[in-house]
Structure 1
Amino acid sequence: MTYLQQSGYLMIAGGTANGLTGLSSIDIYNPWTGCYNVSNMSVPRMHHTATYYNNSDTIILLGGIQQNNNLISESEILSISGTQLYHPMSQPRYFHEISILNDSNILIVSGHGLINNSVPLEIYNHSSSTFQQLTPYHSRLRNLEGHSVTPIGTTGNHLIFGGFNGSSYFGVGLIYDGTELTAAGTLNITSLETMNDITGRAHHQATYISQINAILITGGNNGTHALFDCYLYDPVNRTFTPTASMGMPRSFHKAILLSNGSVLIIGGAVGMSSNQPITPTNSVEIYNPITHTFTNAPLMNVARYRHQATLVEDEIFVSGGIGSDGRTLSSNEYLIF
């Protein structure tokens, strides 16, 4: 779900209703009238990424799959007025993560698909409208899912944290230095030393808080259970330190930075094992970066995980996800703080 800054509309593109087949539908939500205008993408897709593009009411979709793990290499440009298939990525992938660089280029990190393990990163070059593979290789970036890629303010650096590669959950971080990218596609990636007691995790959230110049890492899961514990990453000293734990363990949740510097933690799954089946929650918590504490906030109307959430002025719009019966949700709700 992407907020279109010029019109104030929200665009929800693709996804899945059954976990097996990608959707082609596009929902454009008008916050003032509450109505949807529905159109269709050129290619149905799920497990893709979508981001605001070109400082206009346009988004770009990258990667994903259709069904039966059929990979999609083509990107697609969506706007209120229509859709357009765009340039193919260097390597088709899904479950990847992206981040916008200072020069408006898009960093694409790992995922699954036909990815050359020696070059698991690529960049979409905004000026030339082309995709470029990046080197050097780092072993922890192979076949990741559930990792996070977080810009550290306006420094040009990004924290790549956690993730699952099919056999291991990682509790370590990498720093991508976007200021050192050369025309040949070489870059600087630095592995961070972390505390031995940081549990490897995926499907967490990582939120940069400018007020304290730190990244808050919340929850996630380690393949056995969802996690309570949270950490702050200090980009000056490049260290991780524990902060308060959440009131309940959660994974596949959403974390939204509010205008006052607090972080809203929304929903998620509280169980992840056969002994504790996946159970969505409707709980909401607020992290105070000054006191380093979590407090409970009013509950959502619907328990959900794998949902989408975005800040629209001073309200948070929450959409979709998976509900208590294991089915995909079509419901939406506003959270007001």
Structure 2
Amino acid sequence: MVNEKNKTRITQYAFLFITLAICTAIAIFLLVKYKKSVKITKATSVTYIYEVDHAGDNSTISYDTSTLSTTSDTSAHWIQDASLSKGRSSFGAVLLPNEHIMIAGGRCNSSTILRGFELYSASTGWNFTSNMKEFRYQYTLTTFANNTKVLAAGTEYPTTQQTAEVYDIKNKTWTLTSTNMSTGRYLHTATLLQNGYILIIGGKNSSGTILSDVDIFMPSSNSFSKVNSLNMGRYLFTSTLLNNGSTVLVTGGGNTDNQMTSTAELYVSGSWIPTNTQMTQPRAYHSAVLLPNGNVLIAGGGDGGTVSYSTAEIYNPTTRTFKSTASMKYRRGS
């Protein structure tokens, strides 16, 4: 028979055990919720896509190119880090070789356009540095010359500009290019080729005309040269360098009729040729990423209005065709 003294002792032990279990659970919760780093292991067949679900849970979706499937990884979480000195949108961003992140230009409210840029490092956070020569937003920022320089091209402010400038990472200086682009543009793309040249494609000009014009930037002369135009004008599209280092895939976007298009074309040996099939649906504001196997994953986007897509597709460079693949968990577009 258990006497009153033993009952009291058992009750005390039970209380301590329950308290310890609750404290342990809270500690684990806080560790997961507020952990300071996330490590993603690289894999040859997996592309990781960060997303925040509707319940506010920060999770990662991985896309496996061998099985064409998506899986959720709730062990990886977004964390809040240091804030920029100025909030901004439509800015340029590149990763520098010293693992710093460079953000430049953009718009900080409805009327203020920026030309300053900030550098981020894990040890010091964000630090404001020198200004660009021009105020720029809805432009492109591209690293080149073995990641020792950065090209800023185009802008919509104060009018659409033909100018471009180069940032020397070592000397921390901005210099205007020797010549301008053939036309002012914004909402264009810039793609670094294996030979070190940068292809500047499409976009819009100051009158709202959708451009098919293409320029190529040559670092040796710090100048631009006009090359063959796209088969159709485009903006809000993607351009992706394929594995051979010289072919560029351009997909979707808005065309000269201001309609979203499912067409795609290839920059091959200085000329533009259509792909053998179109994308599975028209897309703008979408994303495209080169996969380790040489295919291109194209995901999300929308109709250019209020409808966003969760669908995705794969471009095969061997057959020059598109094929539907697993959809994302949620719609992602403009």
State the alpha-carbon separation in 1 of the partners of residues 153 and 159 from structure 2. Answer: 11
State the alpha-carbon separation in 2 of the partners of residues 232 and 252 from structure 1. Answer: 19
Q: Map of 1:1-337 to 2, 5 A cutoff?
A: 33-53=76-96, 55-81=97-123, 82-103=125-146, 104-114=148-158, 117=161, 120-140=163-183, 142=184, 144-153=185-194, 155-165=195-205, 166-181=207-222, 187=223, 189-194=224-229, 198-211=231-244, 213-222=246-255, 224-234=258-268, 237-243=269-275, 244-270=277-303, 272=304, 277-306=305-334
RMSD of Structure 2 on Structure 1 (CA): 2.6
Q: State, as a whole percentage, how many aligned pairs show the same letter.
A: 24
2:193–2:245 CA contact under 8 A, matched in 1: no
* Greater C-alpha Rg: 2
Give the drift of 1:39: 2.5
Distance 1:252 1:129, change over 3 A: same
* 3-state SS of 1:112 partner: coil
Give the drift of 1:168: 0.8
User: What amino acid is aligned across from residue 107 of structure 2 in structure 1?
Assistant: I
User: What amino acid is aligned across from residue 201 of structure 2 in structure 1?
Assistant: F
1:156–1:179 CA contact under 8 A, matched in 2: no
State the alpha-carbon separation in 1 of the partners of residues 129 and 321 from structure 2. Answer: 45
Partner of 1:310: none
2:298–2:312 CA contact under 8 A, matched in 1: yes
User: What amino acid is aligned across from residue 218 of structure 1 in structure 2?
Assistant: T
- The structure whose residues are more often strand, as a share, is 1
Give the drift of 1:298: 0.6
Tell me whether 59-68 or 35-44 shows the greater mean CA deviation.
35-44
State the alpha-carbon separation in 2 of the partners of residues 224 and 74 from structure 1. Answer: 33
State the alpha-carbon separation in 2 of the partners of residues 64 and 254 from structure 1. Answer: 20
Distance 1:204 1:174, change over 3 A: same
- Structure 2 length normalisation: TM-score? 0.73
The answer for unaligned runs of 5 or more in structure 2 is 1-37, 42-47, 51-57, 61-72
* 3-state SS of 2:83 partner: strand
Distance 1:212 1:112, change over 3 A: closer
- Structure 1 length normalisation: TM-score? 0.72
State the alpha-carbon separation in 2 of the partners of residues 43 and 192 from structure 1. Answer: 37
User: What amino acid is aligned across from residue 267 of structure 2 in structure 1?
Assistant: Y
1:284–1:300 CA contact under 8 A, matched in 2: yes
State the alpha-carbon separation in 1 of the partners of residues 319 and 160 from structure 2. Answer: 45
Give the drift of 1:41: 1.2
Give the drift of 1:262: 0.4
- The structure whose residues are more often helix, as a share, is 2
Give the drift of 1:139: 4.0
Tell me whether 280-289 or 126-135 shows the greater mean CA deviation.
126-135
Give the drift of 1:31: 9.1
State the alpha-carbon separation in 2 of the partners of residues 115 and 75 from structure 1. Answer: 21
Aligned length: 265
* 3-state SS of 2:152 partner: strand
